[in-house]
Structure formats: C-alpha cells, structure tokens
Homo-oligomer: A and B are copies of this chain.
Amino acid sequence: ARPKVGYLYSKRGGNSIIYDYIKEVKVAEIKTKPAVVTEDTTVYDAIVQLFLEDAGTIFVTNNGHLTGAVSRKDFLKIALGNTDIHKVPVGIIMTRMPNIVTVTDNDTAYEAAKKIIEHEVDSLPVIEKTVTEDGKDILKITGKVSKTNITKLFVKLGSGN
C-alpha cells in the first residue's frame, strides 16, 4: 500500500483520484427528460415547447425514432429570417441524423462532456440503438445530457454528495 499513500501528498496523485472518480459517473445517472416533438410540428409550436420545458435544445422524432435536433441558437436564426414559422415544419429546418452527436447510458459523464465541448453543442441525446431485420438502425431517445447536467454534476461533486 506504500505507493498509494503518495496520492495524498502529490498534486498528480490527488488528480488521479479525481479523474478516476469523475470517470465512474455514467450518463444514465445524470441524464434528464428531453424535450421532444415530431417532425411535422411547426417551428413556432416547437419553440413554444422549448419554452414550456425550459430546454436549450429540442429533439425531433419520426415514428418514435430520433431523426433530428434544433437548438435555441438555430431557432433564433430562423426567427430572424424569412421562414414562416407558423407554417414550416420543424423537420425542414432541423439538423438531421447522422449529423447529431449522441451518447448511450453506459458512456461516462466525462465522455459526454468531452463530446459537448468538442462538437460545440449544448446538449446530447441519450440513445438506445436497435437494428431491424432488414439491417436498419433504429434510434430511440431515452434522455439528454446537457451542459446544465454537467454543471449540476460538478456542483454535486463539489458538495461532496
């Protein structure tokens, strides 16, 4: 046990414990309920939903499968443009799969945070992937991990809970 004692006195060692600990926390433990609408929802109604759920990103499904996402920033751009937000469906303006970065329950919170920073997004959908008989991927959204979830986890770690 001798070398382990070093953890207590060297900065590097203290760090090791922190990052081992941080890497234990799984996406499943910190994910929360995502705001979801269907592709045929108008942009306006999708924005209303965004406000109602106080979400930063809205996820879009078709027949129960995740097909897209729209952020507050995307909506703000659209709202300033010439799009008739009362007529155009959200499916037209969304970022479409496979251009959405995702995580699964078993990924770590650390991996999720890294993806959020690297891909410069506010929120990741947590997905369950199944493959149909004819070899198609089906993505079900089971939650989301956002910068808010990571910030909450940081506060929780700092509180010693």
Contact = CB atoms under 8 A, between A and B. Distances in A.
Interface of A: 1, 4-5, 7-8, 14-19, 21-23, 44, 47, 51, 54, 72-73, 75-77, 79-80, 85, 109-110, 113-114, 116-117, 120, 147-148, 150-155, 157-160
A110 B160 contact: no
- The quantity of this chain's copies bound in the complex is 2
A17 B51 CA distance: 39
Contacts of A23: 158
Contacts of A150: 147, 150-151, 154
Secondary structure at chain A's binding surface: helix, strand, loop or mixed? Answer: helix
Most chain B beta-carbon neighbours within 10 Å: one of A72, A120, A155: A155
A157 to B, nearest CB: 6
Contacts of A54: 120
Contacts of A160: 15-16, 18-19
Contacts of A109: 154
Given A114-B155, A154-B150, A18 B21 contact: yes
A1 B5 CA distance: 10
A22 B158 CA distance: 6
B159 A19 contact: yes
B158 A147 contact: no
B147 A151 contact: yes
Q: Tell me which of A14, A77, A85, A120 has the highest count of chain B C-beta atoms within 10 A of its own C-beta.
A: A14
Nearest to A159: B19
A67 to B, nearest CB: 23
A156 to B, nearest CB: 10
